[in-house]
Amino acid sequence: MTVAIPPAAVLRQALRASLALVLVAMLSGLVSGPAVHAQAETAESLTAACDDDRDADACMAMAIKSYEGREVALDHALSRRFSAKACAEGAMMGCNLLGALLQDGAGGPQDLAGAARNFRYACEGGYDGACFNLGQLLYNNYSGDPADLVEARAAYAKACEAGMVDSCNNRAVMLKYGEGGDADLPAARALFVQSCEAGSVNACASAGYMLMVGEGGPADTARAAEWLRSSCESGSAFGCDNYGMVLLNGLAGDRDLQGAAALFTRACDAGEGNACLNLGGMLYNGVVAERDLPAARSRFSTGCRLGSNDACGFLAQMAFDGEGGEQDRPLARQMYASLCETGGVADACLLLAVIAENGAGGPRDLDAAYRALGRGCELGNRNSCLLLEQRARE
């Protein structure tokens, strides 16, 4: 069991949206007509100007007042009504606010399709924040239609070109993973670097990782260490995990095992599954102090819960062997089955086949063993393919 540089896994938490984030892009534009209206006129006069004169700025001002509960009662349903009126009169900010309210189900039922329509209309009408919001909505609520990812990628690109740093970061994620179009690692790396230099913590962590491993261009461990350290200090668990790898392996100076362990602990406690894997590996191998198998098993368990397939694999191994706690072969068998069938881990399929064939952790099941070998072979495990051929000849 060894500690290794984690797989290329940029945190997709950067793409998580909330109504608060959606509205940051919208409310940052309140510097002209609606703001003047909101400050200079009463709710009664604004309502009259909106309803009777079809004044878009007045409608927008009332939408904001009722959304914020400023000088009137907080009323998201009323904010929906005024936003819709502002949008109908050509105020793209109103379309964007209406989209946000529909997305979050504020003031009425949630309507993601309606939210997308309003964000799309506002984006096409020149409201750049709506382009970002459209990308967020399509990406985070992916319907399974590849066209959604194509549109999300284009929306992020448009908002990025308008100077929205978070949108540039999210576009880089999609370029890196080939989502919504072909993968382009050099372009992704360039955008992460650009976004990092513009102040995006997540982009600094991602750029640092790509420079550390030489992804999308030559490795630059000194620069990588600087960005990973700064992103970690700014709260990125992904940055802390990978800066821990820099210290553990001495990639930018002398090795610092205790510093690495501290960073892995910090990142694991903050919810970074790969850091729990790395910390568990250090505890298992006794890298800093004496081996601590119960602690290692606990960290692998946390990493598994947080989505690290490698941590699940090590936890299954320890449960099977009874290391660091009670032996639990039924649990190990169940975990290997999950890793094989849904996790796409080829080695787990081979282990599951052996366990099922020998009746460890449950009844002997030759059919399950054969299926596991087939799945492992499909995933590229050569030994699974060889055993599958052998079983077919028997």
| 381, part of any domain | yes
Please report, for the domain that includes residue 356, its CATH number.
1.25.40.10
- What range defines the domain where residue 336 resides? 328-394
pLDDT of res. 40: 54
Within-domain flag for 356 = yes
Structural domain includes residue 237: no
Condensed to tens digits (0 to 9), the pLDDT of residues 26-59 reads 443 333 445 445 455 789 999 999 999 999 999 9
How many domains are there within the chain? 1
Is 7 within a domain?
no
List pLDDT tens digits, range 128-169.
Answer: 999 999 999 999 988 889 999 999 999 999 999 999 999 999
The sign one gets for the Cα dihedral 139, 143, 146, 151 is: negative
Q: DSSP for 94-150?
A: HHHHHHHHHHHTTTS---HHHHHHHHHHHHHTT-HHHHHHHHHHHHHT--S-HHHHH
Answer whether residue 347 is part of any domain.
Answer: yes
Residue at 376 is within a domain? yes
> pLDDT tens per residue, the chain (394 residues)?
333 333 333 333 333 333 333 343 444 333 344 544 545 578 999 999 999 999 999 999 999 999 999 889 999 999 999 999 999 999 999 999 999 999 999 999 999 999 999 999 999 999 999 999 999 999 998 888 999 999 999 999 999 999 999 999 999 999 999 999 999 999 999 999 999 999 999 999 999 999 999 999 999 999 999 999 999 999 999 999 999 999 999 999 999 999 999 999 999 999 999 999 999 999 999 999 999 999 999 999 999 999 999 999 999 999 999 999 999 999 999 999 999 999 999 999 999 999 999 999 999 999 999 999 999 999 999 999 999 999 888 7
Task: Tell me the angle at which helices 128-140 and 19-27 cross, rounded to the nearest 10 degrees.
Answer: 170
Inside any domain, residue 208: no
Residue 311 burial by Cβ neighbours in a 10 Å radius (0-12, 13-18, 19+): buried
Specify if 365 maps to a domain: yes
- Region of residue 122 (phi > 0: left; psi between -120 and 50: alpha; otherwise: beta): alpha
CA pair distance 384, 187, nearest whole angstrom:
37
Angle formed by the axes of helices 382-393 and 366-378, nearest 10°: 140
